Amino acid sequence: MAGAEPFTGPIGNPVAIATGRYAAILGATPSKGARSPLLWNAAFRAAGIDAVMHPMDVTTADLPAVVAALKADPRFVGGAVTVPHKQAIVGLLDRVEPEAGRIGAVNALYRDGDALVGANTDGAGALSQIEEMVGGPHALMTRRALVLGLGGAGLAVAAFLAGRVTELTVANRTRATADAVAARLGAMVVDWPVGADVLSKIDLLVNATTVGHKDGPAGSPVAAADLDVLPGSAAVYDVIYQPDVTPLLALAAGRSLETRNGLGMNLDQAVIAFAKAVPGALGMDAVRAAMRAA
């Protein structure tokens, strides 16, 4: 590639920088099929920006050196972080956004002057979708939310809902995990499995477990009889999008409740990360349209 310069950090795949600016996705093996470069490169083209996102295969041992090399290169605008580096990278950055700090994990990077900043757009993507589903941030403030499951996705969603809903409740199979998360977020904890007595007081239900996923446990994380006690104004959000309609969403739709799956979250986390890395380059709707087309 004429004029290209090899990236000098210790990565496991060859990367040559031939553009005025560039982004990167850091992970164990993103060169073997990560989707982020496809999405980001479509947005760069739509914005007319001379930039490319490169996958960078990084070992845990080499992560500090790679982050230092990216930080020292003013052409680097930001990018994405995937497994297994979402937690380890936190301590290598100049700062992290408050929600990412509460979650303890970063999946997006952006430059602020000479500083490299970490964000968690998994939660931001879900928040964007949930706000749209319920009628905006002001409507969300009136909701009593329950988050089921506190793995990576559930913790991210809970962190972004904290302070944005009237009341936040969390539940997890391992009670100690739920207690620790609740203490950090100022949430309430209920026992697993969640029953009708809890659901009757909830008007925003979020499933962040794998129950109902095409490759996960079958069924719904909430029994049909218990779901019947949700108020008629309730909304149900499922981070799962394979299948499009999970058993939980099918039950909720049967009651004519507002529902949404996690497909939009999956896209919006990339849209929000791009907007942080290249602020003002393209409106959010235009970024979303470019990435959706890709």
Residue in 86, 201, 214, 276 annotated catalytic: 86
Q: What is the mean pLDDT of residues 94-108?
A: 93
Q: Is 86 a catalytic residue?
A: yes
Domain with CATH 3.40.50.720 in the chain: 123-261
Choose among 136, 80, 134: nearest CA to 272. Answer: 80
| pLDDT single digits (tens) 260-270 | 999 999 899 99
Decide if pLDDT at 1 tops 70.
no
Place of tokens 């950055």: 93
Choose among 184, 108, 101, 117: nearest CA to 150. Answer: 184
What is the CA angle 254-256-261, rounded to 5? 80
Dist CA 92 CA 89 (whole Å): 5
pLDDT at 187: 97
> For 288, what's the count of Cα atoms within 13 Å in the CB-facing half-sphere?
14
Q: Which CATH architecture has domain 123-261?
A: 3-Layer(aba) Sandwich (3.40)
pLDDT band at 152 (very low <50, low <70, confident <90, very high): confident
Return the bridge partners of 56, or none: 26
Dist CA 240 CA 157 (whole Å): 13
Decide if pLDDT at 235 tops 60.
yes
Q: What is the mean pLDDT of residues 222-230?
A: 94
pLDDT at 45: 97
Whether residue 23 contacts residue 79, with contact meaning beta carbons closer than 8 Å, is answered with: yes
Whether residue 118 contacts residue 94, with contact meaning beta carbons closer than 8 Å, is answered with: no
What is the CA angle 55-58-59, rounded to 5? 160
Share of the chain above pLDDT 90, in %: 88
Whether residue 86 contacts residue 287, with contact meaning beta carbons closer than 8 Å, is answered with: no
Domain with CATH 3.40.50.10860 in the chain: 5-119+265-293
* Whether this model's pTM surpasses 0.85: no
Q: CATH number of 5-119+265-293: 3.50.50.60, 3.40.640.10, 3.40.50.10860, 3.30.930.10?
A: 3.40.50.10860
Q: At what angle do helices 263-277 and 121-134 cross, to 10 degrees?
A: 120
Please state, as a whole number, how many other Cβ atoms lie within 10 Å of the Cβ of residue 137.
11
